[in-house]
Amino acid sequence: MNELFGTLPDGTPVHRWTLERAGVRVRVLSYGGIVQSLEAPDRDGNTAGVVLGFADLDGYLRHPEPYFGALVGRYANRIAGGRFALDGRTYTLARNNGPNSLHGGERGFDKRVWDVEPVGDGGHGVRLSLISPDGEEGYPGRVEISVTYTLEERGALRIDYEAVTDAPTVLNPTNHSYFNLGGSGHAGGHELRVAASRITPVDAGLIPAGEPEDVTGTRFDFRRARKVGSGYDHNFCLDKGVTAAAEEVVELYDPASGRALTVATTEPGLQVYTADQLGEPFAPGDGIALETQHFPDSPNRPDFPGTVLRPGEVFRSRTVYGFSAR
């Protein structure tokens, strides 16, 4: 189902698409590719919203920085100093996070209006697409990207990314939904399991500093499920690395409601953000972002998995969010 959701200050209409299957309902906006709402049943069959979002477009325009539910890029996470070198040339990016570039800059994918079309049978999928012109936010190359949201047979939300470029560039998109499986309140009591034996330690600007470190004996060891708590905005180096098929690497569980979320991905990293900086109308810790992506500052770290996309190549990535209750 497609409906008008609102109008931007310049008069551009924003539409909302609704997908429903197996008791799960997802609403996606053409503005920012935002997952505006996602409803799933608890152990008693009661349905509630499990991602943070706003009821109207004005909410997203007034509170852009938390990136609620948005597609972010060209480069999710941070690039140190707002610059990187590629093939002997240095590119300067928009610096929108202190001295660094974050989530694609001042006007990344999250602030663009995407073209949207239904895909598949039964109204279970939508494909969003846009063109990022050469030089946008300082990035080289004209990039054509599409992102497809699909509700699978059992109600899992699959996100498929595909992109091409006409010049060498870097690319690292993700979805920035904040999950609260209880439907409201503080999410710090959720239990988290992450298949990651290392994290990238960070400096004060949340830029990776030094080599990845073992999580054994630290607060970053979630290889066995335990309460999340607070104080996390870190990249976990998934043990599986980059994979051709999406592999399950995460489970988030809310003991109160019985809702469980699994995350499978082709990506090598997971940014766990406990949203400690959220402000009104939400409170710190009201959601947990689980951003599947490449590592922060990879364009400046040849020792990290590469994020360079070249002409003739096709960028592909998949993440699947599965929902159940117990």
Q: Render the burial of 39-70: b for 16+ CB within 10 Å, e for the rest.
A: bbbbeeeeebbbbbbbeebeebeebeebbbbb
Residue 218, phi then psi, degrees to nearest 5: -120, 170
Six-digit token string for 283:
């409170």
Give the amino acid at 158. Answer: R
Let me know: does 231 contact 294? Beta carbons within 8 Å. Answer: no
Residues 6+ apart with CB under 8 A from 126: 17, 19, 28, 116, 117, 118, 119, 148, 149
For 35, counting Cβ atoms within 10 Å of its Cβ (0-12 exposed, 13-18 middle, 19+ buried), the class is buried
Query: Token pair of 139, please?
Result: 């990035």
Whether residue 246 contacts residue 263, with contact meaning beta carbons closer than 8 Å, is answered with no
| Alpha-carbon span 215 to 212, nearest angstrom | 9
Is 162 catalytic? The answer is: no
Q: Cα–Cα distance between 15 and 279 in angstroms, integer?
A: 26
Distance between alpha carbon 295 and the CA centroid of its chain, in Å?
A: 13
In the set 176, 190, 234, 294, the catalytic residue is 176
Residues in the chain, overall count: 326
247 catalytically annotated = no
* Two tokens, residue 45: 């069959």
Active site residues: 176, 291
